[in-house]
Amino acid sequence: MKKIISYNVNGIRAAINKGFADWLITENPDIVCIQETKAQPEQIDSALFESLGYFSYWFSANKKGYSGVGILCKEKPNHIEYGIGINKYDDEGRFIRADFGDTSIISVYHPSGSGGEIRQAFKMEWLSDFQKYVNKLKETRTKLILSGDYNICRLWIDIHNPEKQEQTSGFLPEEREWFQSFIDDGFIDTFREFNKNREHYSWWSYRAGARKRNKGWRIDYHIVTDSLLKQLSGASILSDVVHSDHCPVVLLIEM
């Protein structure tokens, strides 16, 4: 059984200063997919993670203090792939893949469209190209675990006050339509395999006491190919972990 965690840390150095390493020791995951490192590889204390028993791999944005993804793992991967081979996305450090035998684990950070029309258009372009890339990858890597911050609430039960949020980036009809088309291509939203209830969120605004009032969004996922269905053992959201405006999400899987 492997415990895989996905966590948008909103700055890896800030998270470390808030006790991320101590939490890692206690939680003891096998693999951690990290998003929004906001750091260059040389700014990240990889020796710290090595001392905790983890190999670490980082793919950063060209722009300092922005975006960036990483993978921590106790087992050394057979291969690491950085980016998807399209410069405008890879320049933002949004995708890193680690292969373990016949299974590939990906840490992905989908763009936010909340910065305005230009970034929303960029987000929609990324979603289309990401889907094409992953479907092509699936032809040779049939067991995929796509863990990360998707910046989209997939279902109405994944966001508070859905009726009032339909014109908000992250819950736009075209974003949810994309997500469903992605699932329909042969993928599973693992959390919803185990929990169909409302009010399970992974991100909360810092404003208006949103987290204390649980006025949140579920935008962090472990999406897996349906070939892995029988290997799934559990999924959960660690909403009490507070190094970030996001919280970690967990997948338990036989691999």
Q: Which of 90, 129, 149, 220 is catalytic?
A: 149
State the helix-helix crossing angle for 117-137 and 173-184, rounded to 10 degrees.
Answer: 0
CB 67 within 8 A of CB 93: yes
User: What tokens appear for 82 in the block?
Assistant: 């950085």
Q: Find, among 116, 70, 65, 108, the residue nearest to 89 by Cα.
A: 108
Concerning whether 149 is annotated as a catalytic residue, the answer is: yes
Strand 2-8: give its sheet, edge to edge: 55-59, 69-73, 31-35, 2-8, 249-253, 232-237
User: What tokens appear for 98 in the block?
Assistant: 């680690």
- The backbone torsions φ and ψ at residue 65, rounded to the nearest 5 degrees and listed phi first, read 75, 25
Amino acid at 86: I
Q: How far apart are CA 59 and CA 54, in angstroms?
A: 16
The three-point CA angle 58-60-62 to 5° equals 155
**Burial degree of 138 (CB within 10 A; 0-12, 13-18, 19+):** middle
The residues assigned a catalytic role are 149
